[in-house]
A and B are shown apart, each in its own frame.
Chain A
Amino acid sequence: MSRTRRLWMLISSTLITALVVTSCATGPDNKQNSLRPEGDSAEKIMNLFSPIFWLATVIGIAVIVATIYVSFKFRATDKNRSPKQIHGNSVLEIGWTILPLIILIGIAIPTVQTVFELDKKADPGAIKVQVVGKQWWWQFAVETDSYQILNADGTVKTDEEGKPETANSVVTANELVVPVNRQIELDLRACDGETPVVDKTVDELKQANPCNVIHSFWIPSLGGKVDAVPGRSNRLVLKAQNEGIFTGQCTEYCGLSHGVMRMQVRVVSEAEYSKWIEGMQKPPVQPSIASEGQTPTPAQRAIEKFGCANCHAMDNPATVSYGPNLTHFGPDFENEVLGGGSIPKTEEHTWRWVYNATDWENGWGIPMQADDCRLGVAPGEGKRCVGMPNFSVPYVYKGSDGKELKLPAMTETEAKAIGDYLYKNK
Chain B
Amino acid sequence: MTTPQDVETNDALTTVHGSEIDEAVELVAEDIAVTTGTKNAKISNAKLAIWLFLASDFLFFGGFISAYLLYRGRSLEIADAALAEGVEPGKILSDVLDIPFTSATSFILLMSSLTMVLALAAIKRNDMRRTQLWLIATALFGTIFLGGQIFEFTEFVREGFTLTTNLSGTTFFVLTGLHGAHVTVGIFWLMSLMGLSMSGKLTSKDSEKVEIAGLYWHFVDVIWIVIFTLIYLIPVN
A/B contact in complex, CB under 8 angstroms: yes
Smallest CB-CB A-B distances: 5 pairs: A199-B90, A196-B81, A196-B82, A196-B78, A198-B82
Residues of B near A195 (CB, < 8 A) are 82, 85, 87
Contact assessment for A199 and B88 in the assembled complex, using a CB-CB cutoff below 8 Å: yes
Chain A binding surface SS class:
loop
User: Assuming the A-B contacts A196-B78, A198-B78, are A205 and B164 also in contact, with contact meaning beta carbons closer than 8 angstroms in the complex?
Assistant: yes
- A-B interface pairs (CB < 8 A), number: 33
Set of chain A residues within 8 Å of B81, measured between Cβ atoms: 196
Could you tell me if B85 and A199 are in contact, using CB atoms closer than 8 angstroms? Answer: no
Q: Beyond the given A195-B82, A199-B165, could you list 17 further A-B residue pairs with CB under 8 A, ordered by the A residue number? A: A195-B85, A195-B87, A196-B78, A196-B81, A196-B87, A197-B166, A198-B75, A198-B78, A198-B79, A198-B82, A198-B87, A198-B88, A198-B90, A199-B88, A200-B164, A201-B164, A202-B164
Q: A201-B164, A202-B164, A205-B164 are in contact. Are A196 and B90 (CB under 8 A)?
A: no
The residues of B that contact A200 with a CB separation of less than 8 Å are 164
Say whether B73 faces chain A, with CB atoms less than 8 Å apart. no
Interchain CA distance A194-B106 in the complex, whole Å: 40
Report yes or no: A199 in contact with B89, Cβ–Cβ below 8 A. yes
What's the minimum C-beta distance from A196 to chain B, rounded to whole angstroms? 4
Name which of A195, A197, A198 has the most chain B CB atoms within 10 A of its CB: A198
A199 lies within 8 A of B160 (CB): yes
Chain B, Cβ-Cβ closest to A199: B90
Q: Which residues of B contact A202 (CB under 8 A)?
A: 164
Q: Are A198 and B166 in contact (CB under 8 A)?
A: yes
Interface residues of B (CB under 8 A from A): 75, 78-79, 81-82, 85, 87-91, 160, 164-166
Q: Which of B88, B160, B166 has the most CB of A within 10 A?
A: B166
Kindly provide the distance from the CB of A73 to the nearest chain B CB, expressed in whole angstroms.
Answer: 42
Chain A, 155-199, CB within 8 A of any chain B CB? 195-199
Shortest CB distance B85–A (Å): 7
Q: Is the CB of B78 within 8 A of A197?
A: yes
Q: List 30 A-B contacts (CB under 8 A).
A: A195-B82, A195-B85, A195-B87, A196-B78, A196-B79, A196-B82, A196-B85, A196-B87, A197-B82, A197-B166, A198-B75, A198-B78, A198-B79, A198-B82, A198-B87, A198-B88, A198-B89, A198-B90, A198-B165, A198-B166, A199-B88, A199-B89, A199-B91, A199-B160, A199-B165, A199-B166, A200-B164, A201-B164, A202-B164, A205-B164
- Find chain B residues with CB under 8 A from A205 CB: 164
Distance A201 CA – B166 CA, assembled complex (angstroms): 10
Taking the nearest CB of chain B, how far is it from the CB of A202, in angstroms? Answer: 6
Return chain B residues, CB-CB under 8 Å to A201: 164
In the complex the two chains form, what is the Cα distance from A197 to B75 in whole Å?
A: 10
Separation of A174 and B89 alpha carbons in the complex (Å): 37
Query: Which residues of chain A in 296-318 are interfacial with respect to chain B, using CB atoms and an 8 Å cutoff?
Result: none
A182 to chain B minimum Cβ distance, whole angstroms, is 35
In the complex, how many angstroms separate the beta carbon of B192 from the nearest chain A beta carbon?
A: 37
Name the CB-closest residue of A to B78. A196
Q: Which A residues touch B78, using CB under 8 A?
A: 196-198
List of A residues within 8 angstroms of B89 by Cβ:
198-199
Residues of A within 8 A of B160 (CB): 199
What distance in Å separates the Cβ of B4 from its nearest Cβ neighbour in chain A? 30
- Chain B minimum-CB-distance residue to A200: B164
Which of A195, A196, A197: most chain B Cβ within 10 A? A196
Measured CA separation A196–B89 after assembly (Å): 10
Complex interface: chain B residues within 8 A of A198 (CB): 75, 78-79, 82, 87-90, 165-166
B166 contacts which chain A residues (CB < 8 A)? 197-199
Query: CA of A200 to CA of B163 in the docked complex: distance in angstroms?
Result: 10
**Chain A residues positioned under 8 Å from B164 (CB to CB):** 200-202, 205
Instruction: Give CA–CA (A197, B164) in the complex, Å.
Output: 11
Across the two chains, which residue of chain A brings its CB closest to B169? A199
User: In whole angstroms, how far apart are the Cα atoms of A73 and B167 in the complex?
Assistant: 66
Q: How many angstroms from the CA of A157 to the CA of B87 in the assembled complex? A: 30
**Cα distance, A198 to B90, chains bound together (Å):** 6
CB-nearest residue of chain B to A197: B78
Taken together as a complex, chains A and B put the C-alpha atoms of A197 and B169 apart, in Å, by 13
- Chain A residues lying within 8 Å of B91, measured Cβ to Cβ, are 199
Instruction: Give complex CA distance A201, B165 in Å.
Output: 7
Closest to A204 in B: B164
A57 to B92, CA, bound (A): 57
Task: Give the contacts of A263-307 with B (CB-CB under 8 A).
Answer: none
In the complex, A201→B88 CA distance in Å? 14
For the complex, what is the distance from the CA of A195 to the CA of B165, rounded to whole Å?
Answer: 15
Q: Give the complex CA separation of A201 and B90 in angstroms.
A: 11
B88 to chain A, nearest CB (A): 7
Q: Shortest Cβ distance from B94 into chain A, in angstroms?
A: 15
Tell me the nearest residue of chain B to A194, going by C-beta.
Answer: B81
Closest-by-CB residue of A relative to B164 is A202
Min CB distance A43 to B, Å, is 37
CA distance A198 to B161 in the complex (A): 11
Write the nearest CB–CB distance from B222 to chain A, whole angstroms. 33
- Separation in Å of the B71 CB from the closest CB of chain A? 12
- Chain A residues in 8 Å Cβ range of B75: 198
